[in-house]
Every structure is written in C-alpha cells, then in structure tokens.
Structure 1
Amino acid sequence: MIKNYIKIAWRNLKRNKAYAAISVIGLALGITCGILIFTLISYNLSFDNFHKNGDRVYRAYTEWHDDGVGRSSGVPQPLGKAFRNDFSIAEKTARIINFRDNLITITKGSDIKKFKEETGVAFTEPEFFDILTFPLISGNKKTILTHPNEAVVTQKIAHKYFGDGNAMGQVIKLDNKINFTITGILKDIPPNTDRRQEIYVSYSNMDQYTDKERENNWGGVYSGSEVFTLLKPGTTIEQANAAGDMMVKKHYTGRDLKVWKFKFQPLNDIHFNTELDASVDRKYLWALFFIGIFLIITACVNFVNLATAQALNRSKEVGIRKVLGSLPRQLFWQFIAETALITFVAIILAVALSFLTLPSINQLFTSEMQFNWAQLSVFIAIISVVVVFLSGSYPGLVLARFQPIMALKSKLSQKHVGGFSLRRVLVVTQFSISQVLIIGTIIIVSQLHYSQTADLGFRKDAVVLLPLPQNDKAKLTTMRNRLSEIQGVENISFCYRPPASQSNNSTGVNYDNRAEEEHWGINTKTADENYLKTFGLKLIAGRNFFPADSTREFVVNETFVKKLNLKPQDVIGKILSINGKHTTAPIVGVVKDFYNYSFHGEISPICIMPDYRGYSTCAIKINMGSAKTSLPAFERVWNETFPEELYSYEFLDDSINKFYQMDNILLRLIEAFAGIAVVIGCLGLYGLVSFMAVRKTKEIGVRKVLGANIGSILWLFGKEFCRLLIIAFLIAAPLAWWAMSKYLQDYKYRITIGPGIFLISILLTFIIASITVGYRSILAALANPVKSLRSE
C-alpha cells in the first residue's frame, strides 16, 4: 500500500513539474533557515555546560546602588581572598585577572619571536582549574601555577610558539616584563565557552605586573578582575549573596555601606546577561526562534496554497478512485505520501544548503559552530513530521471529501477546495510575515546609519590610534617631535583612550570641598593639552588646561555641570577631587557633550586632565590624502621608539564601529531571512497566478475578443493581490512597530519610527509582488484569444 502511494505520488509530481519545483524550493528554503537557526540557538545554549559540577559554579560581580544601579562583572581584587578565608560555603574559590592585547616574546639565542595576543593573558590562582574543568594534557594538575613564574598554555598556543617541539619547560616573556616557564598544556579551549584566554600565568606575579596597592584596594574595580567559586552541595545563591552583604559591612563605612553590593551569578547566566559583559541577548535568540517558526510556516502556507489550487485538476482522478471503492482515509494518506515525498526531497536540499551556508554564518559570528548530527537528526525528524502534516493535512482532507459524481461531471468549483477565501488568508499570512521582516530590516538599517553618521561631539574621521607600551617622558617627547615632521600630520595627542572607547575608567567625585562625594561617578580621561584640538572637542566655558606632566587642572563636560544643577560658568575655578581625593585641582574649562560610549549608553559626567603616567594611546589626526606615505612613516618612528614591542594601529572610526558589531550581525541575519520570506512568498504568488491564468484562459479569450486591452487583463489579476497585500500590511505594521520599539529601547539615543519607514515597506512589497504577478499575467494577456477559445 505504501509503495503504491509513493509510486502514484511520484507520477503526479512528474506530471506537474512546475508545482513540484516551487513546492520543493519553498520548503527547502524554510527548512534551511530552521536548521541554521536551530544550530545557532543550540550552540549558544551549550556555552560552558561541559564543566563538571557547573550547576554549582558561580561568578562574583559588583553592583553600585547610588544614582541608579551600575553593574560590573569585575570585583575588587581582595574580594576573592576575603570570601575564601571568611566563609565556609564554598569548596573552591579562585581569582583570575584578565588582560588583553598582550605582547609575548620568545627568545632563543639571537632569534626573537614576538606575538600579539588579542585574547590576552590571565593571572590565575591554581584553584581555577578545579572549578572550571578545562582538561590538562601535560603537567601536574595538583601543582600548576602554585609557584611564581609559571604558565599554562593551550595546545594551539604551544604549537603556535614552538611548532612540533615540546613546549613544556620553555620560557615566554610577558610585555617585556616577566619571564614565565610553561609547566602545563591545556587541551584546546572549546568554542562554546566565554573563557577565551589561552595563556594562564601565576597569580603570585601580579604585584610585579601592576600596582601592588590593588591587592588591598576595596575602592576600585577593574572589569577584568574576576572571582569564580564552586559552592558546596546544597548551598544556595541566596547564601552566597548574603556573604557578599557581610563583606560590604566588614570592608566599607559611611555611605559606601549602601552603595556597594557584591552578588553571585550562575555560570549558565554569564553568556546571556547583557547587564554585565555578555555579548548575546536571550531576546535575540527568541527573536531568531520565532523567525525560524515563521519562515517554516510561510513555506508550509505556500505548499497548502499551491496544493489546494491544484486540487481541481485532480478531481476526476479522485472521482474515479472513489467510484472504484477508495475510502476517504486512503485518499488522505495518498496525499500525505505525496507531501512526504516533496518534504523528503526538500530536506535533502535543505541539509545541503545548510552545510554550504554554515561557514558564512561562522564568519559572520566569528564562531566555530558545527552541526551536532545527533541533535540535528532529532530536529529534522520532528520538523519533517510537522511539515508533512501541517502542509499535507488540509489538501488531503479537501481531496478526500470530493463528491465523485460532481468530480466526474467537472462540476467542482473553487468553493469546493476552500476557494479564494482560504488562499486569501494564506497569502495574507505569508506577506504579513514578509513585511514584518522588511520593516525590521529598514529600522535596523536606519538606526545603524544614525549611529554612524550622527554628530558624536568629536571628530572621528582620519584619526589613527597607535599604542603606547611605555610612559617614558623622553621617549614620548622624541616620538611626538618625529611624528609631527611627517607629511600629512595635522595634530598629535597622547591620551589614555579616544573620547568614545570600550575601555573607560570611572571613580567617585567630590565637588567644591563638599562634605561628601556626589551620588554619581565620573568618567576620567587622562590626556595632554592637544586632546581637545585633535578630536575637535568644543569649549563652551573657560579654557583648556595648560601643558603639564601631572594633574593640575581639569576640563569637564556639560553633563557634569547638569548633574550639579549649575551653569557652565558657575563651575570655573571650583575645586574638583577624584580617586578618593587623591587627585585635586581646579576646573578651568567646560566642553560640549560628546559620546563616551556607544548609543546604547548615556553620556557620562567626564573630566579630562593631564597625567603622562596614564597615557596608553597616541592619537594622530592626519590628512587622508597623505595616508599612503604617512602610515608607513608612523610604523618606522614607532618601531625605532619601541624596538622591543610589536607595532599595530587602528583608525578611530573602525574602533567605534565595533560598538555596533552585534547590531550589524543582527541586520545581516534579518536581511537574509526577509529575503527568503519574500522569495517563498513570490514563489507562492507565481504558482497561484499561473493557476489562475489556466483557469481563466477562456475568460481572458472572451474579454480580448470583446475588445479588452492588456491593461484591463492585467488588472484582472492584480486587483485581487493588491487588496491582499494591503490587508497584510495592516496586520504587519503594528506587529513590526511593537517588535522594533522593543529593539530600539536598547539605545539611549535612537531614531523615531516614522510613517516613511512603513511607506517604504509597502512600496517595496508592491514592487516585488508586481514583478512576480506581472510577468505571468502579461504572458496570459498576450496569449492569442483564438487559441485560448479553441483550447476550451
């Protein structure tokens, strides 16, 4: 019986090749999107779930409850030690201090190799590898990093530095400061973890690498200073948070008792918590999940549309079968078999397309996703059953309920297969989904364009950023003089970071010797006197500070003044104290506000002050016409100034674009999915118009004989679909407005969703649909009426 069903299904598909091709392509595109989205979601959900006892692993983080609530994934450096010594609720606790963009030097005789490690180096307490179980393939797990000057690296790093040679016992030098001997090699870090560091060194060397005071400093937080803990079985997160409250009571006084809070975050929350340092938002995964469902539904709707349209062509076949004794359920299962055959071919095509597309998805996300064939097989099996019954049930029921006498007499009409009322609903459903995605694409494009072209309050074009590995005053002076002689150089500034940066320092602030600090922090930017000129910052009151090696004067921004409820001229000459009153100087100028983060965050109160010890960037404003000669000259000067370091540079506008990396990824995905939804919808439209053309052959011939022109024939086809597209738009517009309003809430500074966006969407949809409908309609309109009437 099943064999017979499949044989008949195959014959029907061969007889209706266009119908079969459109159905297969539509389903294949929808299922391909489903497979890729399933892979993407399952990949993200798998992050760090391979650690033994991962359900008991937590990371400490900091909250500040003052002027709003601020959060950081970092904690004061002594917190881990205090938690380990003062509380017994954890089996293991480890501190890990992460640094990025480190220089690693390997010396063998006169051969010197230099490597710039973007993922950086982590100063790590040995218990870390008992908490997070990264496999060690060489070395003694009980003793690694227990002594100073030890390092653990991954297989990848070992091969990168030493090739096929043995890395154990080899010496690497960190930032030309400290030598470390490799005493352990880790198995390569899996792609589904947020711990991307591949070089771990002894925590006991931290004092040599940075300021010794950090070990006992409870007042500062570096975002790379983390604490991981493995709680004892039965210990709850509430108990851990209570321990955090007790540490605040022990180590803070006065107003800080209410401001500071230490809490603990489950390991499985780290990858998704965007309030801390996660790069993936769960709501985006949910959005992709629903997009995948919508695309599969769109493909199924397309199939149902075409299948019911084809049903009348098979009415005599069904009538004969019923007369010969076929039962309704047999006819139903015959059509399900036909649907299953189409779905099977579509799935084969979808798997092939997914396999070809995955490398591009990995490149887009800079990930290493692979198909988990065990999970994917289950997913494909489930999606196959769902698609077959979702697509095949209704057409199968329609065929099964045909009355044999009416079928054999050719008296069945559109109303017996659901008529246009059903297909109207299906077409509206398809294009509602398509228009939601089109509107979403237009809004994301508009917001990114706004982010990239809006006035940031500073000049970002043609500014080259060079790293400063050392703060030697003589070297910096010589470097400035030599760089200023290069053709095309307009301005040079030594600073910590440019005005907008992903790396920012914030601290408490005391204004005008008030009794207590303000209830908000200030973003500090160390820079020389050329900072304002190089970046085009505009003074609105007072003056720039005078050249100096240390902080003797401050320049603040408008937001700082607004926080104090004062006018710009009111703060000139007033005393400002930061860093717990360690730095005190008068305010001499106020600059117009500029964005110091991306448009996702608000402009902070800012103070700019000179201090050569804090300079880590050389910003050079250049004439882009001379860039080809300027950039090589910068490299020569830099290499001669810092011969032991590794040269690199970056344009400021490229640095700022990194703020919107995830938004650009989301845009690319939405564009692709919107395009696929439109293609599936157009396939359905083309199939329906083709069917209409066949059914209306006699009508078109009669109209042409009676004098109808081509325009009126085209309108015969177009008026129906225009009405449906307008209805689809009326459904899609409010849904898209609601979804994209939620998306834009992530931006503190954003576009407004105006009527122009919806107008562009409906116009695009009409143009695409008109091309699809118009092509087939013109063929029908140009047909010879004599042949049309004779064929009937």
Structure 2
Amino acid sequence: MIRNYWKIAIRSLKRNKVYTLTNVFGLTLGITCTIFIFSLVKHHLNVDTFHTKKDRIYRIVTEDHLEQTVYSPGGPPPVGKAFRDDYTFAEKVARVFVRRERMISLPLSPDKQKFQVEEGIAFAEPDFFHILDFPLARGNKNTVLTEPKTALVTERIAKRFFGETDPIGKIIRLDNKLDFRIDGILQDLPENTDRRQEIYLSFSSLKDYNPWAGNDDNWLSYADEMQSFVLLKPGISPAKVNEAFRTFSNKYYEGDYVKEYQFRLQPLSDIHFNPDFDGKISKTNLWALSLIAIFLIITASVNFVNLATAQALNRAKEIGIRKTLGSFRNQLFWQFLIETALIVLIAMILALTLLYWTLPFVKSLFEVPITSNFFQDNHLLLFLPLFFLLITFLSGAYPGFILAGFQPVLALKGKISQRHAGGFSLRRGLVVTQFTISQLLIIGTLVVAYQMQFTRQTDMGFSKDAIVTLSLPTNEKSTLSTLHSEFSRLAGVEKVSFCTQAPASEGSSSFEIVYDTRTEKENYDVVFRGGDEQYLSTFGLELLTGRNLYPSDTVREYLINETLAKKLGVSNEGVIGKNALINDTKGTIVGVVKDFHNQSFHTGIDPLCITTQSNWYNRIAVKINPSDLRHTLEALAPVWKEAFPDHVYEYDFLDEQIARFYEQDYRILLLIQTFAGIAIIIGCLGLYGLVSFMTTQKTKEVGVRKVLGASIRNILWLYGKEFARLLLIAFLIAAPVAWWIMNSWLENFVYRINISAGIFIMAVAITSVVATLTVGYRSLKAALMNPVKSLRTE
C-alpha cells in the first residue's frame, strides 16, 4: 500500500511541475534557515558543556558598588588565593591571567622567528587543568606549570611554531621579556569553548611579567583579565559560598571599601550568556533567533497550505474518480500526506546540500563555528527526522483533510467551489500571517540598520578617521622620543601622540578621586586616559575652558571632561586650578574638555581624566593625511622596525577598533536582513498562489465586467484592492508587536534612535512594492484576456 502511495505521489508531482517546484523552493529556503539557526543556537548552548565537572565549576566575580554598580568577570589579584586559604568549600581553586595580542618569539631559532598571537596568552595556576577539561596530548597533568618559566601550548600552536620538530623542551619568549620552556602539549581546543588561549604559562612567573597582577597584596584594584575559577566540593551549594562572601570583604577591606567590594560565584553555565560579565551572547538573542526560525518555517508551511488548497479545485475530478472506485477518505488523506512528505524530503535534501556548499561563506560571514559534518552531529540527527515529521504534518494535514473530504458527485460534476476547498477566507488569513511575519522582520531590519548607521555617523566628540594606533613594546624614554621625531618627519603624518588608549576604548582603567579639600573620596570612579600634550590635537578633542597639558613624563596636571565637572558639582570655570587625587597621585586640574564617548553607545559617558604619565603609555597614535594613506603606512614600517627590531610591525585603524564595539549588533543586522529577505520570497510565493487562485475563480466575472465596459485599470483594481486590504491588516498586526520588540532591543543602547513613523511607512512601502510586483504579472494577464474566451470557460 505504501509503495503504491509513493508511486502515485511521484506521478502527481511530475504532472504538476509548477506547483511542485514552487513548494520545494519555498520549503528549501525555510528549512535551510531553520537548520542553520538550530546549529547556531545549539553551538551557543553547548559552549563549555564538555567539562565533566561543569555543575561544580564557578568563577569568582566582582561587584563594585559605587554610584552605579560596576560588574567585572575578574577581581583583585589575591582574591582566588585568599578564598583557597580561608575556606574549605573548594576542591580546587585556580587563578588565570590573560593578555591578548601578544608577541611570541623563538630566541634559539636561526632567524629568531616572531609570531603575533591574537588570542594572546594565559598565566595559569596548575589546578586550572584539574578544574577545566583541556586534556594534554603530552606531559604530566599533575606537574605541568608547577615550575617557574614553564609553558603549555596546543598541538596547533606547536606545529605553527616548530613544524614537525618535537616542541618539548623548546624555548619561547614572551614580548621579548621572559623565556619559557615548553613542558607539555595540550590537545587542540574544541570549538565550543570561550577559553581561546592556546599558550599557558606558569603563574609563579607572573610577577616578573606584570608586577601588578603578581602582587598578592593588591586588594584595591581589579581587572577583567585576572580571574579565579573554583571547583566546589560535592554537596556544597553556591548559595552557601555566596553567604560566606558577605563577610569575606570584612577581612581584607576597611571603611567604605567593605561595602564597595563584593564578590560572588558565577556558574560556568552562565559565563557565555551574561552580558554584565562580558558574555558573548545573551539568551534573549538566542530566543529571538529561535523565534525567527519558527516564523520562517510557519511562513513556508503556510505557503504550502495556500498553494495546496488553491490547487485542490484542479484535482477535484481525480478525487471524485478515486472515491467512486472505492477509495476511502483516510486512504486519500494519507495519499496527499505522502505527497507532502515527498516534497518535504526533497526540500530537506536540497536544504542540507545548499547549507553544505554555502557553509564556508556563512561561517566567515557570521563568524560561527558550525560543522559541515551533519551526519556526525547527534543532536542534528535527532532534530532532522522530528523536524521532517513536523513540517509534513503542518504543511500536509489540512490540505489532505480538505481534499479527502470532497464529495464524489459534486467533484465529477465540476461543482466543487472555493468554499469546498477551504474557503477564500482561509487563504486570506494565511497571506496575512505570512506578511505579518515579513513586516515584523522588515521593521526589525530597518530599526537595527538605522541604529547601526547612527553609531557610524553620530559625532563621538573626537576624530576617528585616518588615525592608526600601534602597540608600544616598551615606553623607554629615548626610544619613544626618537620614534616620535622620525614619525613626525614623514610626509603624510599630521599628528603623533603617545597614550594609554584612544578616547573610545574597551577595558578602560578607572580610579578613585578625592577632589580639592574634600576629605572623602567620591562614590564613583574616574576613567583614566594617559596622553601626552599632543593627545587633544591628534584626536580632535575640544578644550572648553582652561589650557592643555604641559609636556611631562609624570602626573602633574589633569584635564577632565564635562561629566566629571558636573559630578563634582563645580562649574567648568570653577574647577580650574583645583587639585585632585586620582589613583593616589595628586595633580592640578588645568582644563575641561568637551564630553566625548569613551565607550560604545551601549553605555553612557563616564567621568574621565586625561594626564601625562609616560610609564603608562603603551600605544602611539598617528594621524595620517587620508589622500596618501597607503604610502604613509608603508613609510611607517621601516621607522618602526628600526626602533623595535625584535617586534612585529602591526597597526590598527581607530575607526575599525570602534566598529568592533558593535560586532554582535552587526551580526544581528546581517541575520535579520537575510531572514527578512527569505521570508519575503516565501511570502511572495504564497501571494502568487493566491492571485493564481483568484484569477481562476474570477475568470467569468472578469469577462462579464469587460463586456460591460470595465477598463484594464478597473480589472487590476479588482485584484489589487484585495491584496491592499490584506497587507494593511498584516501591518496593523505587525506594527505594535515590532515596536515593542525593537524598543526593548534599543534599550541596550544609552544613545539610540527613536522609532519614527517613517520606519513603519518604509516597511509598508517595501511590502507593497514586492506584493505589487508579485501579483502584477498574473493580474495583468487576467485583465488582458479575451472576454469571449473568459465567458466560455464555465
């Protein structure tokens, strides 16, 4: 019986090629996007789930309770050690300190090779590898990193550095400062981990590389890079530990610091998703992507139902004959369901093929590590058959029920009408559903696009164009002086400045401030920007009152921004000449600069100071004439290499650094744009099916109207008004829902656009143009039909 069903299904689909191809195309698009979203969501949900003790692994995070609470995934350098010494809650505790974009050289190689490692390095205590499961390919897990100046590298890094040579015992040099001996090889990191460092160094050597991070008495400052991981003993609840943390600060802090510095445990399962602690993606975004996948598959299924029920009248006689010859209703139902299953199966095979061939492009475009080994993915292998059954049922059950219910006498006499084929109202409802989803995605696309345009075009309060920054390997005074002079002489170089960071930068340092004669520190921290006397002119910062900093190698004077002056409760003029103690260093406030955005538009403008402090300078900013950008960059290289022959010459454009603030937002925009386009295409297929059904049903009516004098414009309006009404209904449903969703998304930005009426008008206009183009050809063809031929059709 089933074999017979398949044979009939194949014949039927071959006979109705346009119907088959239209449905296969729509379902292929919907299924491709759904599988992609499933793989994307699955990847994020599986991040760091491979650790065998994941339910007992936590990270100690810091909450700095100032005027506004500041959250950090790290903490003061000694917090992990103190927790290990003071409490018995943990089976293992390990600190890890990460530095990104480091230079590794091979001092014993013939050509002293140098490598820039973007993900950087990590100083880790030995128990780190007893807490997290990063297995060793070679070496002893119980002894690695226990000795000073030892290192672990992954198999990939070992091959990059040493080729096929045995890396054990080889020497690597970090930033031309410290040498480390490789004592073990880690297996290559899995894709689903946020720990991307592939070089681990002994934590006992950290004090020689970074005295601040290696200082176990440094409780009054913290950094995101200094993190502590904890493996709790079985039966110990995190709530019990967090309760103990309430008194933890009493031991190591005094006065207001006791309330200010608070610590708690963050579960490993929360690290990837918590935006407060630098999570990679929020679960809200994953829910949004999942909802889009559901929307797309509903759109594709609705499209199938629309076309199938519109096609039903053409199969009325076939059904009548089958019933007359003894077919039962349930047999006909299963026959049509198998036809649907065959279409879905073809669409699913095409979708997997399409995704496989486009995967390299998709992975680079969206920067997602989705595997192309579909049949080695157990979750996908479970998902696909369930997904197949779901789509088959959603798409085929209702049309099969309608078709199997035709009465044989009416079918054979040609008396089956649209009322028997599900009714025209059903198809109206399906088209409204499709275009509601399409308009939701279009409005979402427009809002995200306008917000991204706002971030690119809005004045940040400083110049970001044609400025490159280079990381300084050293801040030795004579070397920097020579570098500054040589850069300044180059044609095309307009300004040169030494600094700690550009005006807008992530990972800023913040410090306490005590103002003038006040005895207590303020209840907020001040963002620190180290910069020489050329800092303002290089970045185009506007000085509102006072004067610029005088040249100095130490902190003598401060420039502050408007926000800090307001928080101090002093006018811009009144603050000039007053003293301020920032980071335990006293200086005189000599000027107030106009507020500029020191981070992304996601956050507000912080109180900020700028001062000279040459031992903090770690970058040089060069403003270049845009008309000769390429040649100037080439000219910088030999000067740099002469000053730092043992380091790699690499530069970074400031505008590209700022664009990275919004990487996740741009990916969201790209995803929504892609899915909105696909939803529109699928919706148009359903719309075309509906207009085809309408023209078939109204053939005689059109003929009568033309005989009675109706013009082509009148006939086109006969069809057009129907779709205009449907699109308007879809818009009225989509607009308030889209406004609520996108307004919630915009709340992630302190500085954002307003959702204006123009966005909704544009969404309606886009949908209307697409709908007009979709139905125009079929409607015009019906309007131009010879009325004599039309009247003979019934």
Q: TM-score range by the shorter chain?
A: over 0.9
For 1:595 and 1:669, the matched residues in 2 are separated by: 28
Residues 690, 776 of structure 1: 8 Å contact kept = yes
The aligned counterpart of 1:377 is 381
For 2:348 and 2:109, the matched residues in 1 are separated by: 59
For 1:783 and 1:345, the matched residues in 2 are separated by: 36
Deviations for 1:97-135, whole angstroms, at most 9, x for unmatched residues? Answer: 111111101033542100011111111110100000111
Count of residues in correspondence between the two structures? 790
The aligned counterpart of 2:585 is 583
For the pair 1:292 / 2:305, whether they are aligned, the reply is no
For the pair 1:104 / 2:108, whether they are aligned, the reply is no
Query: Secondary structure, in 3 states, of the residue corresponding to 1:97?
Result: strand
The aligned counterpart of 2:463 is 459
For 1:520 and 1:361, the matched residues in 2 are separated by: 44
Pairwise CA distance, 1:240: 2.0
For the pair 1:363 / 2:378, whether they are aligned, the reply is no
For 2:544 and 2:49, the matched residues in 1 are separated by: 53
The aligned counterpart of 2:740 is 738
The aligned counterpart of 1:696 is 698
Which deviates more, 519-528 or 683-692?
683-692
Q: Amino acid of the residue matched to residue 259 of structure 1?
A: E
Query: Secondary structure, in 3 states, of the residue corresponding to 1:571?
Result: coil
Q: Amino acid of the residue matched to residue 233 of structure 1?
A: P
Residues 437, 679 of structure 2: 8 Å contact kept = yes
Pairwise CA distance, 1:701: 3.3
The aligned counterpart of 2:168 is 168
1:259-274 equivalences in 2 (<5 Å) = 259-274=260-275
For 2:378 and 2:685, the matched residues in 1 are separated by: 33
Q: Normalising by structure 2, what TM-score? A: 0.98
The aligned counterpart of 2:43 is 43
1:512-523 equivalences in 2 (<5 Å) = 512-523=516-527
Pairwise CA distance, 1:623: 0.9
For the pair 1:339 / 2:346, whether they are aligned, the reply is no
Query: Secondary structure, in 3 states, of the residue corresponding to 2:276?
Result: coil
The aligned counterpart of 2:331 is 330
Q: Amino acid of the residue matched to residue 649 of structure 2?
A: Y
Q: Amino acid of the residue matched to residue 618 of structure 1?
A: I
Deviations for 1:70-116, whole angstroms, at most 9, x for unmatched residues? Answer: 10011110111111111111011011111111110103354210001
Distance 1:337 1:110, change over 3 A: closer
Query: Secondary structure, in 3 states, of the residue corresponding to 2:200?
Result: strand
Pairwise CA distance, 1:709: 2.4
Q: Amino acid of the residue matched to residue 238 of structure 2?
A: I
Which deviates more, 261-270 or 691-700?
691-700
For the pair 1:654 / 2:656, whether they are aligned, the reply is yes
Residues 539, 592 of structure 1: 8 Å contact kept = yes
For 2:245 and 2:165, the matched residues in 1 are separated by: 47
Residues 108, 171 of structure 2: 8 Å contact kept = no
Pairwise CA distance, 1:786: 3.9
Q: Amino acid of the residue matched to residue 254 of structure 1?
A: G
For 1:84 and 1:377, the matched residues in 2 are separated by: 44
Residues 78, 219 of structure 2: 8 Å contact kept = yes
Residues 467, 649 of structure 1: 8 Å contact kept = yes
Query: Secondary structure, in 3 states, of the residue corresponding to 1:96?
Result: strand
Q: Amino acid of the residue matched to residue 117 of structure 1?
A: V
Query: Secondary structure, in 3 states, of the residue corresponding to 1:593?
Result: coil
Which deviates more, 254-263 or 627-636?
627-636
Q: Amino acid of the residue matched to residue 701 of structure 2?
A: E
Which deviates more, 210-219 or 16-25?
210-219
The aligned counterpart of 1:541 is 545
Residues 22, 684 of structure 1: 8 Å contact kept = no
1:745-756 equivalences in 2 (<5 Å) = 745-756=747-758
Pairwise CA distance, 1:791: 4.9
Aligned with 2:639 (options 634, 637, 644): 637
Deviations for 1:3-25, whole angstroms, at most 9, x for unmatched residues? Answer: 22222222221221111111111
The aligned counterpart of 1:428 is 432
Which deviates more, 325-334 or 538-547?
325-334
Which deviates more, 689-698 or 133-142?
689-698
Q: Amino acid of the residue matched to residue 678 of structure 1?
A: I
For the pair 1:480 / 2:459, whether they are aligned, the reply is no
Pairwise CA distance, 1:698: 3.1
1:276-287 equivalences in 2 (<5 Å) = 276-287=277-288
Residues 528, 610 of structure 1: 8 Å contact kept = yes
The aligned counterpart of 1:29 is 29
Q: Amino acid of the residue matched to residue 737 of structure 1?
A: W
Q: Amino acid of the residue matched to residue 95 of structure 1?
A: R
1:589-600 equivalences in 2 (<5 Å) = 589-600=591-602
Deviations for 1:591-629, whole angstroms, at most 9, x for unmatched residues? Answer: 110000000111100000001101111111111112122
Residues 191, 367 of structure 1: 8 Å contact kept = no
1:131-146 equivalences in 2 (<5 Å) = 131-146=131-146
Q: Amino acid of the residue matched to residue 23 of structure 1?
A: N
Aligned with 1:509 (options 508, 513, 527): 513
The aligned counterpart of 2:532 is 528
For 1:257 and 1:331, the matched residues in 2 are separated by: 76
For 2:634 and 2:394, the matched residues in 1 are separated by: 63
Pairwise CA distance, 1:532: 0.8
For 1:374 and 1:75, the matched residues in 2 are separated by: 39
Aligned with 1:498 (options 490, 499, 502): 502
1:129-278 equivalences in 2 (<5 Å) = 129-211=129-211, 214-278=215-279
Residues 219, 252 of structure 2: 8 Å contact kept = yes
Deviations for 1:724-759, whole angstroms, at most 9, x for unmatched residues? Answer: 001001000011101101110100100000000000
Question: Which 5+ residue runs of structure 1 have no aligned equivalent?
Answer: none
For 1:724 and 1:368, the matched residues in 2 are separated by: 41
Pairwise CA distance, 1:711: 1.6
Deviations for 1:644-668, whole angstroms, at most 9, x for unmatched residues? Answer: 1111001111110000101111111
For 1:686 and 1:71, the matched residues in 2 are separated by: 53
Pairwise CA distance, 1:789: 4.0
For 2:11 and 2:635, the matched residues in 1 are separated by: 73
Pairwise CA distance, 1:790: 4.6
Which deviates more, 559-568 or 757-766?
559-568
Which deviates more, 626-635 or 138-147?
626-635
Query: Secondary structure, in 3 states, of the residue corresponding to 1:165?
Result: coil
Query: Secondary structure, in 3 states, of the residue corresponding to 1:483?
Result: helix
Residues 497, 503 of structure 1: 8 Å contact kept = no
For 2:9 and 2:791, the matched residues in 1 are separated by: 32
Distance 1:779 1:181, change over 3 A: same
For 1:779 and 1:620, the matched residues in 2 are separated by: 64
For 1:165 and 1:713, the matched residues in 2 are separated by: 80
For the pair 1:555 / 2:556, whether they are aligned, the reply is no
For 1:737 and 1:527, the matched residues in 2 are separated by: 43
Residues 134, 187 of structure 1: 8 Å contact kept = yes
Query: Secondary structure, in 3 states, of the residue corresponding to 1:275?
Result: helix
Pairwise CA distance, 1:243: 3.3
The aligned counterpart of 2:395 is 391
Query: Secondary structure, in 3 states, of the residue corresponding to 1:416?
Result: coil
Pairwise CA distance, 1:352: 1.1
For 1:15 and 1:93, the matched residues in 2 are separated by: 69
For 2:507 and 2:258, the matched residues in 1 are separated by: 27
Residues 22, 687 of structure 1: 8 Å contact kept = no
For 1:772 and 1:460, the matched residues in 2 are separated by: 45
Q: Amino acid of the residue matched to residue 647 of structure 1?
A: Y
For 1:514 and 1:481, the matched residues in 2 are separated by: 42
Which deviates more, 423-432 or 535-544?
535-544
Which deviates more, 406-415 or 616-625?
406-415
For 1:757 and 1:327, the matched residues in 2 are separated by: 53
For 1:603 and 1:359, the matched residues in 2 are separated by: 39
The aligned counterpart of 2:115 is 115
The aligned counterpart of 1:320 is 321
Which deviates more, 234-243 or 755-764?
234-243
The aligned counterpart of 2:771 is 769
Question: Which 5+ residue runs of structure 2 have no aligned equivalent?
Answer: none
Identity, % of aligned positions: 52
Q: Amino acid of the residue matched to residue 680 of structure 2?
A: V
Query: Secondary structure, in 3 states, of the residue corresponding to 2:597?
Result: coil
For 2:15 and 2:792, the matched residues in 1 are separated by: 23
